[in-house]
Amino acid sequence: MTRWQQQLAEGFSNSAALLEYLGLDPSLADIRAEQSFATRVPKHFADLMTSSIDDPLLRQVWAQGAENFQAPGYSDDPLQEQQAAAPGLLHKYQSRVLLILRGGCAINCRYCFRRAFPYAELTLTQRDMQASLDYIASHPEVNEVILSGGDPLMADDRAIAGLLEQLEAIAHLRRIRIHTRLPVVIPDRLTDELLARLTQSRLKPVLVLHSNHAQEISPVLRERLQPYVQQMPILNQSVLLAGVNDDVDTLSALSEALFDADIRPYYLFLLDRVNGAAHFEVDEREARALYESLQSRLPGFLVPKLAREIPDRASKTLVV
Ligand SMILES: *Cc1c(COP(=O)(O)O)cnc(C)c1O
Ligand code: SF4
């Protein structure tokens, strides 16, 4: 087992234990919420939290009673993603496909729009993968493959290298993009092997991280990212979350921290209306107002695009 896999195995798997670790009242953890979506938090991420129940990192991950509330307009599949081009393959936007490499994640974010997906722990079989590769090979308009999940970096470096080799053989592909939260929650996932394999590829790599608060950009993450930032663009996407980052000071601190770590802000998404996440919603009017102050506060290159995903659209929808 490598270091990151060790840390994956040692993470918190229930909210009561996490609260207790932080010196908080473990009885606040809600069993029903936890049964509908398991708690999963690596120790590195827990160590970036403060001992407050309102801590912005803690709020993203602990199972609380508010999740049991059935809010109108919320569903289990808000993006209607369960209609795939091939098992594990989404082709909604012309030039790029999303390949679900692994169903699981190192961390379970309570606001995740995939929290209710049946494929939670899915690993694609060789046959499913072949169907996806055949699909991509027969669609010359696709020039970029986005590895997504779950979290694609749950796959080990050998599996990723194997997949890359198959993708490199498809002549019309130009880029490989990896959407992952794993380096933020376990920085040791940024191995030398992964970097070496990505840099030797004919496909240009792009790494898109997911973090929501400056506290997540730890010194260890910055250090592990260093060799990567010299080789490929590193972007970040965030979700606008009530009680986590829904004020202009927090959002500008996040952008500044990202810049210091050589990560460029890419998207700031409005919440997807998935069951169990209504307490995270920031309404669109408030979001626009916040965004305007953010634009006046930061240089343009540190302002992420405010967007939301609307099913059946040909791209993300900008909120302006
Ligand atoms: C978000 C998403 C993409 C990538 O969109 P970009 O705007 O290129 O970042 C691609 N495919 C699907 C299905 C998506 O949901
Ligand atoms: S890491 Fe991403 S896919 Fe995984 S639970 Fe969090 S938001 Fe969802």
Q: Indicate which CATH number applies to the domain containing 195.
A: 3.20.20.70
Same domain, 117 and 19: no
84 inside domain: no
Q: Which residue's alpha carbon is at the smallest distance from atom 7 of ligand 2?
A: 112
Q: What was the pLDDT predicted at 128?
A: 87
Same domain, 254 and 205: yes
- Give the integer Cα–Cα distance in Å for 275 and 320: 26
265 inside domain: yes
Better-scored residue on pLDDT, 211 or 113: 211
pLDDT tens per residue, range 263-277:
999 999 999 999 999
Same domain, 152 and 50: no
Q: Which atom of ligand 2 is nearest to the CA of 181?
A: 1
pLDDT tens per residue, range 268-303:
999 999 999 999 999 999 999 999 999 999 999 999
166 inside domain: yes
Instruction: Count structural domains, the chain.
Output: 2
Q: Looking at the predicted structure, is the pLDDT value of residue 153 above 60?
A: yes
Residues with CB under 6 A from ligand 2: 105, 107-109, 112, 114, 149-151, 181, 210
Lowest-confidence pick of 44-48, 55-59, 123-127: 123-127
CA of 171 to the centre of ligand 2 (A): 31
74 inside domain: no
**Residue 276 domain boundaries:** 89-318
Residue whose tokens read 């996490």: 18
What dihedral angle (degrees, nearest 10) is formed by the CA atoms of 245, 250, 237, 154?
-70
Q: CA separation (Å) from 9 to 13, 64, 154? A: 10, 23, 12
Q: What was the pLDDT predicted at 99?
A: 94
Pick from 38, 68, 98: which residue ends a domain?
68
Lowest-confidence pick of 34-43, 109-118, 182-191: 109-118
78 inside domain: no
Same domain, 152 and 191: yes
Same domain, 155 and 45: no
Q: What was the pLDDT predicted at 185?
A: 98
- Give the integer Cα–Cα distance in Å for 172 and 308: 29
Cβ neighbours of 314 (radius 10 Å): 8
Q: Looking at the predicted structure, is the pLDDT value of residue 41 above 70?
A: yes
Same domain, 151 and 292: yes
- Sheet of 317-318: strands edge to edge? 89-93, 96-102, 144-149, 175-180, 204-210, 234-239, 264-269, 305-308, 317-318
CA of 45 to the centre of ligand 2 (A): 14
Mutational test site, ligand 2, from 108, 148, 185, 238, max ligand atoms within 8 Å of CB: 108
83 inside domain: no
- pTM equals 0.97
Q: SS3 for the chain, per residue?
A: CCHHHHHHHCCECCHHHHHHHCCCCHHHCCHHHHHHCCCCECHHHHCCCCCCCCCHHHHHHCCCHHHHCCCCCCECCCCCCCCCCECCEEEEECCEEEEEEECCCCCCCCCCCCCCCCCCCCECCHHHHHHHHHHHHCCCCCCEEEEEECCHHHCCHHHHHHHHHHHHCCCCCCEEEEEECHHHHCHHHCCHHHHHHHHCCCCEEEEEEECCCHHHCCHHHHHHHHHHHCCCCEEEEEECCCCCCCCHHHHHHHHHHHHHCCCEEEEEECCCCECCCHHHCCCHHHHHHHHHHHHHHCCHHHCCEEEECCCCCCCCEECC
Same domain, 62 and 115: no
Same domain, 169 and 48: no
Mutational test site, ligand 2, from 59, 67, 109, 238, max ligand atoms within 8 Å of CB: 109
pLDDT tens per residue, range 84-109:
788 889 999 999 999 988 779 999 99
- Give the integer Cα–Cα distance in Å for 319 and 52: 33
Model confidence band, residue 38 (pLDDT cutoffs 50, 70, 90): very high
Q: CA separation (Å) from 262 to 27, 240, 291, 296, 298? A: 40, 21, 22, 22, 16
- Give the integer Cα–Cα distance in Å for 4 and 153: 10
Same domain, 241 and 210: yes
From the CA of 180, the nearest ligand is 2
CA of 158 to the centre of ligand 1 (A): 25
Same domain, 34 and 111: no
From the CA of 210, the nearest ligand is 2
Q: Which residue's alpha carbon is at the smallest distance from atom 8 of ligand 2?
A: 112
Q: CA separation (Å) from 33 to 14, 38, 61, 65, 119? A: 11, 8, 11, 6, 19
* Two structure tokens written together for 77: 């599949």
Q: What was the pLDDT predicted at 126?
A: 82
Q: What was the pLDDT predicted at 107?
A: 97
178 inside domain: yes
Q: Looking at the predicted structure, is the pLDDT value of residue 118 above 70?
A: no
pLDDT tens per residue, range 215-236:
999 999 999 999 999 999 999 9
Q: Looking at the predicted structure, is the pLDDT value of residue 167 above 90?
A: yes
Q: What is the mean pLDDT of residues 128-145?
A: 96
82 inside domain: no
Q: Which residue's alpha carbon is at the smallest distance from atom 1 of ligand 2?
A: 181
What dihedral angle (degrees, nearest 10) is formed by the CA atoms of 106, 109, 112, 118?
50
Same domain, 138 and 62: no
Q: What is the mean pLDDT of residues 127-133?
A: 91
From the CA of 144, the nearest ligand is 1
- Give the integer Cα–Cα distance in Å for 228 and 239: 24
- Peptide bond before 150: cis, by omega within 30 degrees of 0? yes
Same domain, 58 and 100: no
Taking all residues of the chain, what is their mean pLDDT, rounded to a whole number? 95
Q: Looking at the predicted structure, is the pLDDT value of residue 81 above 80?
A: no
